Amino acid sequence: MTPSTPRVSLGHFPTPLQKLERLSELLGGPEIWGKRDDLTGLATGGNKTRKLEYLLGDALAQGATTVITTGAPQSNHARQTAAAAARYGLRCVLVLASMAPPNITGNLLLDHLVGAHVRWAGERDRYEVMEEVAAEERAAGRTPYIIPYGGSNAIGASAYVQAMDELIRQMHEQDLHFDHIVLATSSGGTQAGLITGARALNFRGRILGISVDKTADVLSPHILELAQLTATHLGFRFELRPEAVKVNDDYLGGGYGVMGKPEKEAIFLLARTEGLLVDPVYTGRAMAGLLDLIRKGAFSSGEKILFWHTGGIPALFAYAEQLLS
């Protein structure tokens, strides 16, 4: 990361490392820790806060006055983008998939509270709608800046190279090491940044992304390409190999955003053993995958696993009825 990389301040860093003692004991296998990026602090936090420090830095350096991004109706990325825009006095337009739901809750409620303008894309291509919005903004004399889905380009992913550096410093300070990092992966920027950071900083553990919505044959090459682009963006000259990208797609369940039994079990288990919240779409699914892998004996009992908690908590409220049924 060069000192000239434009960056704004949005979150509270370093995020804590927390040993999940009761959960580890209950499972009787490896030691499980959490990296609490759910506590980054931007309108409840999450992994996009890190990416947005760089993306908004770039937007402001380019003279943007409006940021435009896209996501699902309960997008955590959209909510954090809208909050970041509010913090820096920018206009924000969110192009959200499908139609307005009957209830405004969870992330969507927060989008409204922080003043985002929501455009429902229906069945239309969301990138096309974002370009239309950008043209409207230009016509109104404003300067738009489009942030891709998930904030997952080289600029956004470079935040997770920095996050790997943060983790390594914490490991030194606390005399810790991790054999595995496990995280929820979707648009791939978080995992790509961690992979690039691991290579650049010589982190020896394995990084496993549990896919929430795409098959590994689609997601893995995308992450590899993004990790390589991120390395180039930061001036690293190494070449990453496909083996660096580990994606598990065994836990796709009923598809994106469909909370099934495993996610529900993970949400209740974590809440009741650790007082720790995971969400129905991302971290609950990744945790359900991790629990299953531990129960199947995929890790040995002497190992240490870091669950990189990427946030998503507001979505819990949008699933209240299903959680309590």
Ligand X SMILES: Cc1ncc(COP(=O)(O)O)c(C=O)c1O
Active-site annotation, residues: 75
Q: Which of 310, 314, 318, 319 binds ligand X (CB under 6 A)?
A: 310
**Residues in 224-283 at the binding interface with ligand X, rule: CB under 6 A:** 279, 282-283
**Residues in 130-169 at the binding interface with ligand X, rule: CB under 6 A:** 150, 152
Are 10 and 57 a contacting pair, CB within 8 Å?
A: no
Considering beta carbons, is residue 137 or 293 the nearer one to ligand X?
Answer: 293
Considering beta carbons, is residue 189 or 289 the nearer one to ligand X?
Answer: 189
What's the min distance (Å) between Cβ of 65 and ligand X? 25
Q: Which of 76, 162, 228, 230 binds ligand X (CB under 6 A)?
A: 76
Q: Is 47 in the site for ligand X (CB under 6 A)?
A: yes
* Count of positions on this chain that bind ligand X (CB under 6 A): 20
Q: Which of 186, 220, 228, 230 binds ligand X (CB under 6 A)?
A: 186
Cα 169 to Cα 225: distance, rounded to the nearest angstrom: 27
Here the tokens at position 316 are 């819990």
Considering beta carbons, is residue 73 or 189 the nearer one to ligand X?
Answer: 189
Q: Which helix (H) or strand (E) holds 95?
A: strand 91-96
Alpha helices in the chain (DSSP H): 21-27, 48-61, 76-87, 106-113, 126-139, 154-174, 189-201, 216-233, 261-274, 283-295, 315-318, 320-324
Here the tokens at position 260 are 């099934």
- What DSSP string describes 115-159? TPEEEE-BTS-HHHHHHHHHHHHHHTT--EEEPPGGG-SHHHHHH
Q: Is 314 in the site for ligand X (CB under 6 A)?
A: no
**Interaction site with ligand X (CB under 6 A):** 46-47, 76-77, 150, 152, 184-191, 279, 282-283, 310-312
